[in-house]
Each structure stands twice: as C-alpha cells, then as structure tokens.
Amino acid sequence: MNKQQSNQVRIELKQQFPLTIKRIGINGEGVGFFKRKIVFVPGALPGEEVVVEVTKVHPKFTEARVKKIRKASPQRTKAPCPVYEQCGGCQLQHLEYQGQLDAKRDILIQSLERHTKLNLDELDIRPTIGMDNPWHYRNKSQFQVGTQDGKAIAGLYSMNSNKLIDIDECIVQHPLTNKVTTEIIRIINDFKIPVYDEKQKRQIIKTIVTRVGFETGQVQVVLVTTEKKVPQKDLLVQEISKRLPEVVSIVQNINPKKTSLIFGDQTINLQGKDSIKERLDEFTYELSARAFFQLNPIQTSKLYGEAKKAAALTGNEKVVDAYCGVGTIGLWLADGAKEIRGMDVIKEGIDDAKKNAKASRVNHADYYVGSAEDLMPQWKQEGWRPDVVVVDPPRVGCDRKFLDTIKEVKPKRFVYVSCNPSTLAKDIDYLKRDYRVEYLQPVDMFPQTAHIETVTLLTLIQQDFREIVTDKK
C-alpha cells in the first residue's frame, strides 16, 4: 500500500459519524464534509451539528440521513404538510421562509462557483425576492394516477422510488386544483372506471393535470391517457361537468410512451373550451393544454417586472421574445418597445400568443412558429436586428446554437430569465467574452422547494458594440 492509498478515508454503508452542516445544496439537502469528503444530508440545515448514517457511497460524494440533531438551527421549523417527508415534492418546509430566501441566493452562488470562471466578488448578486404568503401559489398540478387497495389514487411519486403517495391536499397548490383532482378521483371510484388494465398490465389514465386561472377562476382538466379509447370516458366527462361547474375545459392528451414527459403529441377536446383565461395585471392570456405559463402567477408579476427593468426600454427598441410560449414576457415589455417578435416551436403556444396580443391590443407584436436560432440569423440577413433579446428557456437552459446566434446577432442587451442556476451559470460562462454580467436578481417562484428563478442582465461588451455601429454605417 502506497502513502496516497493509506491517507484515503474509506466510508462504509451504515457508518455513523458527527457532521457540521455548512450550506444548503442545489437539491435542498444539507452539505457537510467528513475527512474532506462531501456529504449530502436531506433535511439538515446550515449551522446544525448532527449525527448521520451513510445511505449511499459514491466515488466523489456520500449520501446520509440524520440520526440525531445535536444542535438545531434557530431557523428550523415544523413542516406543516403531513406527507412532507414521504412526498419529496417540497424540500425546505422545515426551514423558516427568510432562511429559504437566503439559501436560494447561496444556491445560485454555488452554481456560479462550480460552472463559471467569473470573479464572484465583482458580481452584483442581489437578495432573493420572496412572497408575502408562500403557500397555495401553484396554478397547475400534475398528479400521477395509480391504484391502492383496489381504489384509484392521485399524487406524486416518493423521491427516488416508484411508490405513489396519495395526496388529498397539497398546501403549495391553489385550493381549486386540489378540489378538482380529488373530485375526479372520487368520480373514478364511484363509477369504478378503470385506470389500469389488469389483464395487459398497462396504464389507462396516467396523469390528471389541473390548471386554474387565479384571477378568472376558470379551470382546465387534462386527462393524460395511454390511448384514445378510455372505458366510460363519456360518463367521466359528464360527471366532471356536473360536479365541477368551474371546469370550463376538459381535454384528453394521449401519451403512450414510458417517459418522464407528461404530454404526448395528440390532444383532443372532450368538452368545453380549448383553453382557459388568466389575467396578470392588465394582460389577459389564453392558456391551452400544452402551452407554457409560469406556475406562480403572484410572483410572475414580480419576475416579469424585473425582466422589464433589465430590458430598460425607451420606446425605440426592437425586442425578441425567444422561447416565448404564450407571449407573456413580450407582452409585458410591449409598452416600452418599438417592435416585438416572438417565437416558439410549439404551434399551440404561438396561436395563444397571437390571441393574447390581440386581446391586449398590442399591434406591434408578431409571433412565429420556429426556433430563435433559425429565425434570428434569417432576420439579420434581411436587415432586422434586435436591440434586446429576452429568453426564458426550460430547465436544460439555452440551446448552444441559440447562444451562438446571440453572439452572431449581437443584441445590446440580453435578459436571461432562468429556472435552473446550473444551466444559467454554464450559459453565461459561454457568453463571457461577448457579454458582461451586470447583475443577477433571484426571485422565489417556488417557496418550500429548492428551485430558484433568476433574472440576469447581460450587456454587449463595448468592443463588439463598436463593430455593430461601424457595420451599420
């Protein structure tokens, strides 16, 4: 055995040891170090002294669970949800809300440390903007359907398992989404409508998706099924309409694939409208089943307000709303822009965006089906170049081709609204030679969870700006 091997610390499964928790990790777990090895402990909080038991050993890190809390954090509180530890949908209910806001800013900092070469001491990373009431804020639930003791249930799968947790009331969901989902399960059980084919061992109804308009009170239900034919489907639709008059749209989506993606490609209207309406401030939005819309309408106003501040529009700018969905951010910026162009690859979202622009009397916004990386270079060739680009990508971040397009088209301001600090960090690091990070503003869109949204303002580095001016001349 050489000297290096003798100095290595071997950690065994079920080994117990004391640990001081240093910070909250990106998934909401406590982070500590044992003999210089990183240890992740769900449920532990910064500053706590705990005794842990090892549950998994990986080459580069260890997972453990709390056996005993020797010194508790003053910010530790009792989680009010009865299935909090089983469900895994929330990770921070046991941390007082101000502590959550502080932890989320730190999660952003950790991502920047890990994925960028930026000097963090020189970055303006602002305090997290929180909620006055951090409960009952989600406008959409996606509850998986299963069976338990011969009856249908709906809920979420326990973290890292295939056990479905029956959830009657989720306290981060709008009460109407809970009411509607619970009543649909009651209808299914009342009429013994099968959700699972015992003979062929396959799912029939996979997911119940419920979305509510906070301001309008309208509800849409999407039944996600493995095939078009569903036993007693007409009866189910009839009873939903009878018992739940607030449901104005009942839709079926067909997704035969075994995948983590909720929706398939085919959507069928079963009863009522194709979409529901929602209002944010003076704007009205049409929301069809597959259209993206922020899950926390109360914080969305704050988030888009921060995006508008970052865009700093004067009335003369041409703006691109990339990954535009139903046009929410672009419409929010419209009164300060000379022209808005938005694009998305989902046609239904673009159809909704056009309706939303018309309803809001925004006549200088145009929407296109397609990707920004295809459309923006084409517009540049035609002589149209945006002054500001705003993007709100999915969790995987911006496509590399899109970032290359930003480098090519060179908008003066790039406003990046991110729901994933890791991909945000990687993307802004990729742009660092062309764009300066002016500031990062975290916004808490998902209280009680470890998720954090961030509005980042990037400005074109002056050397490149001079090239554009020269090119225009």
pLDDT digits (tens, 9 = 90+) for 282-322: 888 889 998 888 899 999 999 999 999 999 999 999 999 99
Residue 366 is encoded by which pair of tokens?
């145009």
pLDDT digits (tens, 9 = 90+) for 71-118: 999 999 999 999 998 998 999 999 999 999 999 999 999 999 999 999
Please tell me the distance from the alpha carbon of residue 79 to that of residue 447, in angstroms, as a whole number. Answer: 13
Please tell me the distance from the alpha carbon of residue 355 to that of residue 367, in angstroms, as a whole number. Answer: 10
Among 81, 90, 398, 419, the active-site one is: 419
Percent of the residues in the chain that have a pLDDT greater than 70, as a whole number: 95
- Strand locations in 202-361 (E): 202-203, 205-212, 219-225, 247-254, 266-272, 275-280, 283-288, 317-322, 337-344
> Among candidates 125, 110, 285, 317, which has minimal Cα distance to 215?
285
pLDDT digits (tens, 9 = 90+) for 327-384: 989 999 999 999 999 999 989 889 989 999 998 899 999 999 999 999 999 999 999 9
> Among candidates 421, 18, 100, 449, which has minimal Cα distance to 39?
18
Please tell me the distance from the alpha carbon of residue 153 to that of residue 207, in angstroms, as a whole number. Answer: 11
Cβ partners under 8 Å of residue 238, min gap 6: none
pLDDT digits (tens, 9 = 90+) for 51-83: 999 999 999 999 999 999 999 999 999 999 999
Identify the pLDDT of residue 5. 46
**Position 201 pLDDT exceeds 80:** no
Please compute, for residue 59, the number of CA atoms within 13 A of its CA located in the half-sphere on the CB side: 0
**Position 3 pLDDT exceeds 50:** no
Q: What share of the chain is helix, strand, coil (3-state, %, to 5)?
A: 30, 35, 40
Decide if 458 contacts 123 (C-beta within 8 A). Answer: no
Quickly state the pLDDT bin for 8 (edges 50, 70, 90): low
Identify the pLDDT of residue 6. 40
Quickly state the pLDDT bin for 1 (edges 50, 70, 90): very low
Quickly state the pLDDT bin for 464 (edges 50, 70, 90): very low
Identify the pLDDT of residue 292. 80
> Among candidates 43, 76, 54, which has minimal Cα distance to 9?
54
> Among candidates 261, 267, 271, 264, which has minimal Cα distance to 289?
267
DSSP classification of residue 327: T
Look over the chain and give the mean of its residue pLDDT values, rounded to a whole number: 92
Q: Please compute the mean of the pLDDT values over residues 388-416 and round it to a whole number.
A: 95
**Position 267 pLDDT exceeds 50:** yes
Helix (H, G, I), strand (E, B) or coil at 104: helix
Quickly state the pLDDT bin for 198 (edges 50, 70, 90): low
Based on the residue annotation, tell me whether 324 is a catalytic residue of this protein.
Answer: no
Please tell me which residue, 132 or 258, carries the higher pLDDT value.
132
